[in-house]
Amino acid sequence: MEINLQAIKQRFGIIGRSPLLDRALGTAVRVANTDLSVLITGESGVGKEVFSKIIHALSARKHNNFIAINCGAIPEGTINSELFGHEKGAFTGATSERKGYFESYDGGTIFLDEIGEMPLDTQAFLLRVLETGEFIRVGASKVQKTDVRIIAATNADLFEQVKKGKFREDLYYRLNTVPINVPALRDRPEDIYMLFRKFAVDFAEKYRTTPIQLDERAQMVLESYSWPGNVRELKNIAEQASVLAEDKLVTAEQLSRYVPQILKRNLPMIPESANSNHDDGVTMQEREIFYKLMVDMKNDLNDLKALVFELIRNNDLRVPNPQDIHSLRAPENSPRQQSAKVPVPHKDVTDFLSEYHEGQEEEESHRPIILHRDEPDGFSPSEEVEESLSLEENEKELIQKALKKHNGRRKEAAQDLGISERTLYRKIKQYEL
């Protein structure tokens, strides 16, 4: 089935081009035409209820009723009555019978938000509804039938709650028929400024003002923030800045005055013992990259030494002074040394060359002299290029190699470099890779 995600986004007002968002949206569209139970997971404020409405609107139940219920907002003593109804006199204050949501919204869709907050006894009743479509009002004995579709959502780890005995395992697997994970805002940085602009424009249209804009550095600050409140927090910040900003072009400094915590990086704290020997201004990630670069350079140098030694030995080359290449002895663990076709004797390079020259002295008088170039002193012209020791240039080159090695997959490249994916993303923007 061909899915036009762009049309779905326009219809439901979804802003973003993140692959993680597209994956979650595609799953919601595919499961909409079925009656399978759906469990939507994600942090608070990512828009889980929006996905439940999309599923209902694209399903065969779209002409029936939809209701969103926050299980954590209903007191434990009344949630059974709210969901399944009660009979007159079933408990104190029950002066008349009442229909529950499962009876009132028969044929429609019920969205149970914060399902992890549901009491255990209510979970048992819900499991029966999911398996047989049957329920009983509080204080009644008559079994009733209902045909509702359940969409549940949670920002907690239900599997951990199952292990702690706070959530029924059978209900967890019954709800989790089709899981949909809505990504956190920090995992889709390419969408942050687009969403900010949308909220700023909506605010300006509502109050008939000019929408605010952010300068380049303010955009970087916005995209570097961790967004613990996700889209809900971003909308609040956009509205705050729209109200408080004196200029319509907001800088990073002005943005930090409105929202002081936006400049906090929220990175893991490094213990003092681990940080005491570090130079000021050099992060652990940068130091690790530098160490990796130096190790690679050392390995390349060892390989080069082994290659030069093999060329001298296998091609009958002469060296005026064997002492000059004493340092070219090939390391025993060199890859080239291990893969060489001709085994290298375990003796000093100087001794080997001395024996080689002594054995060749008798043939030297009969060997024709071939001059390949008319250069003074028998040396070819060469140009000495000084190797760059810039940490920034070497870091940039190493990041490019990692991205090329993993075909642009940032997560695997970050793991190979030994840094976080977020740090790699920042470096990519910094070096305009």
Return d(Cα 280, Cα 261) in angstroms, integer: 24
Write out the two tokens for 88. Answer: 């007159």
Write out the two tokens for 383. Answer: 């140009």
Strand blocks (E) in 166-265: 178-181, 213-214, 249-250
Domain check: are 322 and 254 in the same one? no
Q: Minimal CA–CA distance to 226: which of 195, 183, 187, 270?
A: 187
φ, ψ for residue 381, nearest 5 deg: -65, 140
- For residue 381, being part of any structural domain is answered with no
CATH of the domain at 249: 1.10.8.60
Return d(Cα 410, Cα 187) in angstroms, integer: 12
Number of domains in the chain: 4
**pLDDT computed for residue 276 by the predictor:** 46
Q: Minimal CA–CA distance to 52: which of 117, 112, 133, 129?
A: 112
Domain check: are 71 and 84 in the same one? yes
Domain boundary among 356, 383, 410: 356
**pLDDT computed for residue 176 by the predictor:** 92
Domain boundary among 356, 383, 418: 356
**pLDDT computed for residue 333 by the predictor:** 55
Identify the helix (H) or strand (E) that includes residue 109: strand 109-113
Domain check: are 62 and 148 in the same one? yes
CA 420 from chain centre, in angstroms, equals 9
Domain check: are 93 and 179 in the same one? yes
Return d(Cα 191, Cα 205) in angstroms, integer: 21
pLDDT tens, 246-284? 888 999 988 888 778 777 655 455 444 444 444 445 566
Domain check: are 204 and 146 in the same one? no
**pLDDT computed for residue 239 by the predictor:** 93
Residue with tokens 């690790």: 288
Burial string for 336-357 (b: 16+ CB within 10 Å, else e) reads bbeebeeebeeeebbebbeebe
**pLDDT computed for residue 294 by the predictor:** 83
Domain check: are 177 and 305 in the same one? no
Write out the two tokens for 218. Answer: 């303010």
Residue with tokens 């005491």: 276
Axis-axis angle for helices 216-224, 192-207 (nearest 10): 110
Domain check: are 194 and 52 in the same one? no
- For residue 165, being part of any structural domain is answered with yes
- Give average pLDDT by consecutive 10-residue segment, the chain, 433 residues: 81 93 95 94 94 96 96 91 91 87 96 95 95 93 94 94 95 94 94 95 94 92 91 93 90 86 60 47 68 80 80 69 52 50 47 52 50 48 57 81 84 83 81 77
Domain boundary among 145, 160, 183: 183
Question: HSE (CB half, 13 Å, CA atoms) of 95?
Answer: 1
- For residue 23, being part of any structural domain is answered with yes
CATH of the domain at 422: 1.10.10
Domain check: are 37 and 132 in the same one? yes
- For residue 232, being part of any structural domain is answered with yes
- For residue 56, being part of any structural domain is answered with yes
Return d(Cα 286, Cα 295) in angstroms, integer: 14
pLDDT tens, 294-350? 878 888 888 888 777 777 777 766 665 555 555 555 555 555 445 444 444 444 545
Return d(Cα 135, Cα 105) in angstroms, integer: 13
**pLDDT computed for residue 329 by the predictor:** 53
- For residue 368, being part of any structural domain is answered with no
**pLDDT computed for residue 320 by the predictor:** 57
Return d(Cα 275, Cα 166) in angstroms, integer: 41
Strand partners, 67: 110
CATH of the domain at 118: 3.40.50.300
Supply the range of the domain harboring residue 418.
391-431
**pLDDT computed for residue 355 by the predictor:** 54
Domain check: are 33 and 175 in the same one? yes
**pLDDT computed for residue 398 by the predictor:** 84
Return d(Cα 130, Cα 35) in angstroms, integer: 11
Domain check: are 35 and 171 in the same one? yes
- For residue 268, being part of any structural domain is answered with no
3-state secondary structure 327-371: HHCCCCCCHHHHHCCCCCCCCCHHHHHHHHHHHHHHHHCCCCCCC
Return d(Cα 236, Cα 199) in angstroms, integer: 9
Helices (H), 69-143: 79-84, 101-104, 120-132
Domain check: are 190 and 243 in the same one? yes
Return d(Cα 185, Cα 199) in angstroms, integer: 15
- For residue 170, being part of any structural domain is answered with yes
Domain check: are 310 and 208 in the same one? no
